[in-house]
Amino acid sequence: MTANRETPDGGSHEAASFDMEAEWRIARLIYPLYCAVARECVIDVLPCQDLEKETNHPTPESLDSVRDWFLKMDDCIQVHQLRHFLQTTALSNGDALQALVLHHLQKQERNESDRNKIDFLMVQFFSLCIPSRLTDPELDLPCVAGILEPLLGQFDLVIPEWLEPLDELTLKSESCRTLKELFTSRIIEQGRKLKDSCGENYFSPLAMAAFTRFGFLLRRSFFRLMHQDLNAILDGLRELEARGIEGLDCRRAQFSAYEPMLRLRMICQSWKVMFHAEYSAGQPLCLLVDLRTVVDAALAKTASKAKLGPLSAPAENSFATAAGAGLGSGNATPLGPKGFKPSD
Protein backbone atom coordinates (compact mmCIF):
# COMPACT_ATOMS: atom_id res chain seq x y z
CA MET A 1 0.00 0.00 0.00
CA THR A 2 1.04 3.63 -0.21
CA ALA A 3 3.39 5.11 2.38
CA ASN A 4 2.29 7.34 5.22
CA ARG A 5 1.54 10.94 4.29
CA GLU A 6 1.83 14.02 6.43
CA THR A 7 -1.28 16.17 6.33
CA PRO A 8 -0.29 19.76 5.42
CA ASP A 9 -1.79 22.72 7.20
CA GLY A 10 -4.70 24.53 5.61
CA GLY A 11 -7.48 22.99 3.55
CA SER A 12 -5.84 19.70 2.57
CA HIS A 13 -7.35 17.47 5.27
CA GLU A 14 -10.23 16.52 2.97
CA ALA A 15 -7.80 15.46 0.22
CA ALA A 16 -5.79 13.38 2.66
CA SER A 17 -8.99 11.72 3.88
CA PHE A 18 -9.95 10.91 0.29
CA ASP A 19 -6.52 9.32 -0.31
CA MET A 20 -6.95 7.17 2.78
CA GLU A 21 -10.37 5.98 1.67
CA ALA A 22 -9.15 5.30 -1.88
CA GLU A 23 -6.25 3.28 -0.48
CA TRP A 24 -8.65 1.44 1.81
CA ARG A 25 -10.88 0.54 -1.14
CA ILE A 26 -7.90 -0.94 -2.96
CA ALA A 27 -6.98 -2.93 0.15
CA ARG A 28 -10.52 -4.26 0.51
CA LEU A 29 -10.57 -5.34 -3.15
CA ILE A 30 -7.27 -7.24 -3.14
CA TYR A 31 -7.48 -8.70 0.37
CA PRO A 32 -9.59 -11.73 -0.74
CA LEU A 33 -7.06 -12.41 -3.50
CA TYR A 34 -4.14 -12.40 -1.08
CA CYS A 35 -5.98 -14.67 1.35
CA ALA A 36 -6.78 -17.11 -1.45
CA VAL A 37 -3.15 -17.12 -2.66
CA ALA A 38 -2.01 -17.76 0.92
CA ARG A 39 -4.35 -20.77 1.19
CA GLU A 40 -3.40 -22.21 -2.19
CA CYS A 41 0.35 -21.76 -1.69
CA VAL A 42 0.24 -22.77 2.00
CA ILE A 43 1.65 -19.46 3.21
CA ASP A 44 1.46 -19.36 6.99
CA VAL A 45 0.08 -15.89 7.76
CA LEU A 46 -2.54 -14.61 10.17
CA PRO A 47 -5.55 -12.75 8.73
CA CYS A 48 -5.49 -8.96 8.77
CA GLN A 49 -7.88 -8.14 11.59
CA ASP A 50 -8.49 -4.58 10.36
CA LEU A 51 -9.63 -5.85 6.96
CA GLU A 52 -11.69 -8.62 8.50
CA LYS A 53 -13.87 -5.87 9.96
CA GLU A 54 -16.29 -4.66 7.30
CA THR A 55 -15.79 -0.92 7.53
CA ASN A 56 -15.25 1.67 4.82
CA HIS A 57 -13.84 4.32 7.16
CA PRO A 58 -10.25 3.53 8.17
CA THR A 59 -8.26 5.25 10.87
CA PRO A 60 -4.60 6.17 10.31
CA GLU A 61 -3.66 3.41 12.76
CA SER A 62 -5.71 0.75 10.98
CA LEU A 63 -4.30 1.80 7.61
CA ASP A 64 -0.74 1.49 8.95
CA SER A 65 -1.55 -2.01 10.18
CA VAL A 66 -2.99 -2.94 6.77
CA ARG A 67 0.12 -1.61 4.99
CA ASP A 68 2.35 -3.73 7.20
CA TRP A 69 0.25 -6.81 6.47
CA PHE A 70 0.49 -6.31 2.71
CA LEU A 71 4.24 -5.68 2.88
CA LYS A 72 4.71 -9.02 4.63
CA MET A 73 2.48 -10.77 2.10
CA ASP A 74 4.27 -9.20 -0.86
CA ASP A 75 7.53 -10.56 0.51
CA CYS A 76 6.03 -14.05 0.84
CA ILE A 77 4.21 -14.31 -2.50
CA GLN A 78 6.45 -15.09 -5.47
CA VAL A 79 5.64 -13.95 -8.99
CA HIS A 80 5.17 -17.52 -10.28
CA GLN A 81 2.63 -18.16 -7.52
CA LEU A 82 0.76 -14.98 -8.39
CA ARG A 83 0.83 -15.86 -12.09
CA HIS A 84 -0.53 -19.35 -11.59
CA PHE A 85 -3.24 -18.19 -9.20
CA LEU A 86 -4.54 -15.27 -11.26
CA GLN A 87 -4.68 -17.30 -14.45
CA THR A 88 -6.64 -20.12 -12.83
CA THR A 89 -9.05 -18.35 -10.45
CA ALA A 90 -12.49 -16.84 -10.88
CA LEU A 91 -11.65 -14.18 -8.28
CA SER A 92 -9.57 -12.20 -10.77
CA ASN A 93 -12.14 -9.75 -12.17
CA GLY A 94 -11.32 -6.42 -13.76
CA ASP A 95 -11.75 -4.30 -10.64
CA ALA A 96 -9.68 -6.59 -8.43
CA LEU A 97 -6.92 -6.87 -11.03
CA GLN A 98 -6.78 -3.10 -11.53
CA ALA A 99 -6.61 -2.62 -7.76
CA LEU A 100 -3.77 -5.16 -7.55
CA VAL A 101 -1.77 -3.31 -10.21
CA LEU A 102 -2.36 0.03 -8.46
CA HIS A 103 -1.27 -1.46 -5.15
CA HIS A 104 2.14 -2.33 -6.62
CA LEU A 105 2.46 0.88 -8.64
CA GLN A 106 1.83 3.03 -5.56
CA LYS A 107 4.63 1.51 -3.52
CA GLN A 108 7.29 4.01 -2.52
CA GLU A 109 10.04 1.36 -2.60
CA ARG A 110 9.99 -1.41 -5.20
CA ASN A 111 12.37 -4.32 -5.61
CA GLU A 112 12.98 -6.78 -8.44
CA SER A 113 10.10 -8.97 -7.30
CA ASP A 114 7.71 -5.98 -7.40
CA ARG A 115 8.88 -5.14 -10.92
CA ASN A 116 8.33 -8.70 -12.14
CA LYS A 117 4.87 -8.74 -10.58
CA ILE A 118 3.99 -5.40 -12.18
CA ASP A 119 5.26 -6.67 -15.53
CA PHE A 120 3.01 -9.72 -15.32
CA LEU A 121 0.02 -7.85 -13.88
CA MET A 122 0.12 -5.18 -16.59
CA VAL A 123 0.00 -7.86 -19.32
CA GLN A 124 -2.79 -9.66 -17.46
CA PHE A 125 -4.81 -6.45 -17.09
CA PHE A 126 -4.22 -5.57 -20.75
CA SER A 127 -5.31 -9.08 -21.82
CA LEU A 128 -8.53 -8.65 -19.90
CA CYS A 129 -9.33 -5.22 -21.37
CA ILE A 130 -8.27 -5.59 -24.99
CA PRO A 131 -11.01 -6.07 -27.61
CA SER A 132 -10.58 -9.56 -29.06
CA ARG A 133 -11.00 -8.30 -32.61
CA LEU A 134 -7.73 -6.35 -32.57
CA THR A 135 -4.93 -7.90 -34.64
CA ASP A 136 -1.22 -7.71 -33.86
CA PRO A 137 -0.51 -4.84 -36.31
CA GLU A 138 -3.29 -2.79 -34.69
CA LEU A 139 -1.71 -3.16 -31.24
CA ASP A 140 0.75 -0.30 -31.63
CA LEU A 141 2.00 1.71 -28.68
CA PRO A 142 -0.73 4.41 -28.86
CA CYS A 143 -3.37 1.67 -28.73
CA VAL A 144 -1.70 0.03 -25.72
CA ALA A 145 -1.28 3.39 -23.97
CA GLY A 146 -4.97 4.12 -24.40
CA ILE A 147 -6.03 0.82 -22.85
CA LEU A 148 -3.60 1.29 -19.94
CA GLU A 149 -4.60 4.89 -19.27
CA PRO A 150 -6.65 3.97 -16.15
CA LEU A 151 -3.40 2.72 -14.63
CA LEU A 152 -0.71 4.95 -16.12
CA GLY A 153 -2.51 8.15 -17.09
CA GLN A 154 -1.48 10.02 -20.24
CA PHE A 155 2.18 10.27 -21.24
CA ASP A 156 4.53 11.14 -24.11
CA LEU A 157 4.86 8.32 -26.67
CA VAL A 158 8.32 9.13 -27.99
CA ILE A 159 10.35 5.91 -27.69
CA PRO A 160 13.84 6.38 -26.20
CA GLU A 161 16.78 4.59 -27.78
CA TRP A 162 17.11 2.08 -24.93
CA LEU A 163 13.58 0.76 -25.60
CA GLU A 164 13.99 0.34 -29.37
CA PRO A 165 15.18 -3.32 -29.16
CA LEU A 166 11.68 -4.32 -27.99
CA ASP A 167 10.24 -3.76 -31.48
CA GLU A 168 12.93 -5.96 -33.03
CA LEU A 169 12.28 -8.72 -30.49
CA THR A 170 8.54 -8.51 -31.13
CA LEU A 171 9.04 -8.88 -34.89
CA LYS A 172 11.34 -11.87 -34.32
CA SER A 173 8.76 -13.60 -32.13
CA GLU A 174 6.03 -13.06 -34.73
CA SER A 175 8.22 -14.62 -37.43
CA CYS A 176 8.87 -17.85 -35.50
CA ARG A 177 7.29 -20.93 -37.07
CA THR A 178 7.66 -23.42 -34.20
CA LEU A 179 7.95 -23.32 -30.43
CA LYS A 180 11.49 -24.66 -30.75
CA GLU A 181 12.40 -21.71 -32.96
CA LEU A 182 10.94 -19.30 -30.39
CA PHE A 183 12.99 -20.83 -27.58
CA THR A 184 16.27 -21.24 -29.48
CA SER A 185 16.09 -17.60 -30.63
CA ARG A 186 16.26 -16.66 -26.91
CA ILE A 187 13.73 -13.87 -27.40
CA ILE A 188 12.28 -14.43 -23.92
CA GLU A 189 15.72 -14.19 -22.30
CA GLN A 190 16.67 -11.10 -24.31
CA GLY A 191 13.45 -9.36 -23.29
CA ARG A 192 14.06 -10.23 -19.65
CA LYS A 193 17.65 -8.97 -19.87
CA LEU A 194 16.48 -5.68 -21.38
CA LYS A 195 13.90 -5.27 -18.62
CA ASP A 196 16.54 -5.94 -15.97
CA SER A 197 18.87 -3.37 -17.52
CA CYS A 198 16.26 -0.60 -17.26
CA GLY A 199 16.53 -0.25 -13.50
CA GLU A 200 14.21 2.43 -12.18
CA ASN A 201 13.50 3.56 -15.75
CA TYR A 202 11.23 0.54 -16.08
CA PHE A 203 8.66 2.26 -13.84
CA SER A 204 8.17 5.17 -16.22
CA PRO A 205 4.69 4.97 -17.84
CA LEU A 206 6.18 4.75 -21.34
CA ALA A 207 8.47 1.84 -20.44
CA MET A 208 5.71 -0.09 -18.67
CA ALA A 209 3.42 0.38 -21.67
CA ALA A 210 6.15 -0.74 -24.09
CA PHE A 211 6.97 -3.85 -22.03
CA THR A 212 3.26 -4.62 -21.68
CA ARG A 213 2.90 -4.56 -25.45
CA PHE A 214 5.97 -6.77 -25.86
CA GLY A 215 4.80 -9.22 -23.20
CA PHE A 216 1.29 -9.48 -24.61
CA LEU A 217 2.43 -10.04 -28.21
CA LEU A 218 5.01 -12.56 -27.03
CA ARG A 219 2.27 -14.39 -25.15
CA ARG A 220 0.15 -14.41 -28.33
CA SER A 221 3.05 -15.84 -30.32
CA PHE A 222 3.65 -18.48 -27.67
CA PHE A 223 0.05 -19.71 -27.65
CA ARG A 224 -0.11 -19.70 -31.45
CA LEU A 225 3.04 -21.81 -31.71
CA MET A 226 2.13 -24.06 -28.80
CA HIS A 227 -1.20 -24.97 -30.41
CA GLN A 228 0.50 -25.44 -33.78
CA ASP A 229 3.04 -27.83 -32.25
CA LEU A 230 0.39 -29.79 -30.34
CA ASN A 231 -1.76 -30.08 -33.46
CA ALA A 232 1.29 -31.12 -35.51
CA ILE A 233 2.09 -33.85 -32.95
CA LEU A 234 -1.50 -35.12 -32.90
CA ASP A 235 -1.69 -35.08 -36.72
CA GLY A 236 1.65 -36.89 -36.86
CA LEU A 237 0.49 -39.56 -34.41
CA ARG A 238 -2.60 -40.22 -36.54
CA GLU A 239 -0.46 -40.50 -39.68
CA LEU A 240 1.97 -42.88 -37.98
CA GLU A 241 -0.93 -45.06 -36.82
CA ALA A 242 -2.21 -45.13 -40.41
CA ARG A 243 1.25 -46.42 -41.42
CA GLY A 244 0.99 -49.23 -38.87
CA ILE A 245 3.10 -47.67 -36.09
CA GLU A 246 1.70 -48.38 -32.64
CA GLY A 247 4.31 -46.73 -30.41
CA LEU A 248 7.45 -44.61 -30.39
CA ASP A 249 10.79 -44.52 -28.64
CA CYS A 250 10.41 -41.23 -26.78
CA ARG A 251 13.54 -41.21 -24.63
CA ARG A 252 14.70 -38.09 -26.42
CA ALA A 253 11.63 -36.36 -24.93
CA GLN A 254 12.38 -37.90 -21.50
CA PHE A 255 9.64 -40.51 -21.75
CA SER A 256 10.10 -44.28 -22.01
CA ALA A 257 11.62 -46.39 -24.77
CA TYR A 258 8.11 -47.36 -25.82
CA GLU A 259 5.17 -44.98 -25.64
CA PRO A 260 1.88 -46.17 -27.18
CA MET A 261 0.03 -43.70 -29.40
CA LEU A 262 -2.92 -43.60 -27.00
CA ARG A 263 -0.71 -42.46 -24.15
CA LEU A 264 0.97 -39.82 -26.32
CA ARG A 265 -2.41 -38.43 -27.35
CA MET A 266 -3.45 -38.29 -23.68
CA ILE A 267 -0.24 -36.41 -22.83
CA CYS A 268 -0.90 -33.86 -25.58
CA GLN A 269 -4.45 -33.28 -24.39
CA SER A 270 -3.25 -32.77 -20.81
CA TRP A 271 -0.63 -30.30 -22.05
CA LYS A 272 -3.34 -28.17 -23.63
CA VAL A 273 -4.68 -27.63 -20.12
CA MET A 274 -1.30 -27.38 -18.39
CA PHE A 275 0.08 -24.74 -20.74
CA HIS A 276 -2.99 -22.53 -20.51
CA ALA A 277 -1.18 -20.25 -18.04
CA GLU A 278 2.44 -20.84 -18.95
CA TYR A 279 4.55 -19.00 -21.49
CA SER A 280 8.16 -19.43 -20.48
CA ALA A 281 10.65 -22.06 -21.54
CA GLY A 282 10.08 -24.37 -18.60
CA GLN A 283 10.71 -28.10 -18.46
CA PRO A 284 7.24 -29.27 -19.66
CA LEU A 285 7.49 -27.03 -22.72
CA CYS A 286 10.91 -28.45 -23.54
CA LEU A 287 9.30 -31.89 -23.48
CA LEU A 288 6.66 -30.69 -25.95
CA VAL A 289 9.37 -29.37 -28.28
CA ASP A 290 11.32 -32.63 -28.02
CA LEU A 291 8.20 -34.74 -28.58
CA ARG A 292 7.49 -32.90 -31.82
CA THR A 293 11.07 -33.65 -32.88
CA VAL A 294 10.46 -37.34 -32.11
CA VAL A 295 7.23 -37.43 -34.11
CA ASP A 296 8.70 -35.50 -37.06
CA ALA A 297 11.67 -37.86 -37.17
CA ALA A 298 9.41 -40.91 -37.08
CA LEU A 299 7.29 -39.48 -39.90
CA ALA A 300 10.39 -38.88 -42.01
CA LYS A 301 11.75 -42.37 -41.28
CA THR A 302 8.51 -44.20 -42.06
CA ALA A 303 7.98 -42.10 -45.19
CA SER A 304 11.35 -43.22 -46.56
CA LYS A 305 10.53 -46.83 -45.65
CA ALA A 306 7.21 -46.53 -47.45
CA LYS A 307 9.01 -45.63 -50.68
CA LEU A 308 10.74 -49.00 -50.58
CA GLY A 309 7.44 -50.88 -50.40
CA PRO A 310 4.83 -51.96 -47.84
CA LEU A 311 5.84 -52.28 -44.22
CA SER A 312 7.11 -55.84 -43.75
CA ALA A 313 7.13 -55.87 -39.93
CA PRO A 314 4.10 -57.49 -38.28
CA ALA A 315 1.71 -55.21 -36.40
CA GLU A 316 2.93 -56.27 -32.97
CA ASN A 317 6.48 -55.23 -33.91
CA SER A 318 5.53 -52.00 -35.63
CA PHE A 319 7.36 -50.07 -32.91
CA ALA A 320 10.66 -51.26 -34.38
CA THR A 321 10.01 -49.36 -37.61
CA ALA A 322 9.95 -46.03 -35.79
CA ALA A 323 12.51 -46.88 -33.13
CA GLY A 324 15.38 -46.49 -35.57
CA ALA A 325 14.44 -42.92 -36.43
CA GLY A 326 17.39 -41.48 -34.56
CA LEU A 327 15.37 -41.36 -31.35
CA GLY A 328 17.33 -43.79 -29.23
CA SER A 329 19.31 -47.00 -29.52
CA GLY A 330 16.32 -48.90 -30.90
CA ASN A 331 17.43 -52.12 -29.15
CA ALA A 332 15.24 -51.81 -26.06
CA THR A 333 12.63 -54.54 -25.87
CA PRO A 334 9.25 -52.91 -26.54
CA LEU A 335 6.70 -53.35 -23.83
CA GLY A 336 3.86 -53.47 -26.34
CA PRO A 337 0.38 -52.02 -25.91
CA LYS A 338 -0.55 -54.67 -23.35
CA GLY A 339 2.15 -53.35 -21.02
CA PHE A 340 0.72 -49.83 -21.09
CA LYS A 341 -1.07 -48.53 -18.04
CA PRO A 342 -2.70 -45.08 -18.01
CA SER A 343 -1.19 -44.49 -14.58
CA ASP A 344 2.41 -44.97 -15.81
DSSP 203-232: GSHHHHHHHHHHHHHHHHHHHHHHHHHHHH
- Banded pLDDT at 292 (limits 50, 70, 90): very high
- 121 or 7: which leads in pLDDT: 121
Model pLDDT for residues 81-112, shown as the tens digit of each residue? 998 888 777 777 788 899 999 999 988 888 88
Give me the mean pLDDT over the 206-232 stretch: 94
- Banded pLDDT at 310 (limits 50, 70, 90): very low
pLDDT higher than 60, residue 309: no
pLDDT of residue 278: 47
pLDDT of residue 54: 75
DSSP state of 162: G
Instruction: Report the distance separating Cα 87 and Cα 124, nearest Å.
Output: 8
In this structure, of 21-25, 35-39, 119-123, the range with the lowest mean pLDDT score is 21-25
Give Cα separations from 213 to 1, 170, 321 (angstroms): 26, 9, 47
pLDDT of residue 15: 40
pLDDT higher than 90, residue 55: no
Give Cα separations from 36 to 44, 63, 153 (angstroms): 12, 21, 30
- Banded pLDDT at 341 (limits 50, 70, 90): very low
The pTM (predicted TM-score) of the whole model is 0.77
Instruction: Report the distance separating Cα 195 and Cα 113, nearest Å.
Output: 13
- The overall average pLDDT reported for the chain is 81
Which residues, in sequence order, are CB contacts of 81 under 8 Å at separation 6+? Answer: 37, 40, 41
Q: Are 289 and 180 in contact (CB under 8 A)?
A: yes
> What letters, b where the CB count within 10 A reaches 16 and e where it falls short, cover 119-142?
bbbbbbbbeeeeeeeeeeeebebe
pLDDT of residue 307: 59
pLDDT higher than 60, residue 243: yes
Give me the mean pLDDT over the 272-293 stretch: 71
pLDDT of residue 241: 94
Instruction: Report the distance separating Cα 344 and Cα 335, nearest Å.
Output: 12
Give Cα separations from 71 to 66, 151, 200, 210, 213 (angstroms): 9, 21, 20, 27, 28
Instruction: Report the distance separating Cα 70 and Cα 100, nearest Å.
Output: 11
pLDDT higher than 50, residue 199: yes
What is the number of helices (H) and of strands (E) in the chain?
Answer: 15, 2
Give me the mean pLDDT over the 10-31 stretch: 70
Q: SS3 of 248, please?
A: strand
Give me the mean pLDDT over the 133-149 stretch: 91
Give me the mean pLDDT over the 125-143 stretch: 89
- 304 or 149: which leads in pLDDT: 149
pLDDT of residue 344: 33
pLDDT higher than 70, residue 277: no
pLDDT higher than 80, residue 222: yes
pLDDT of residue 294: 95
Give me the mean pLDDT over the 4-8 stretch: 39
pLDDT of residue 305: 66
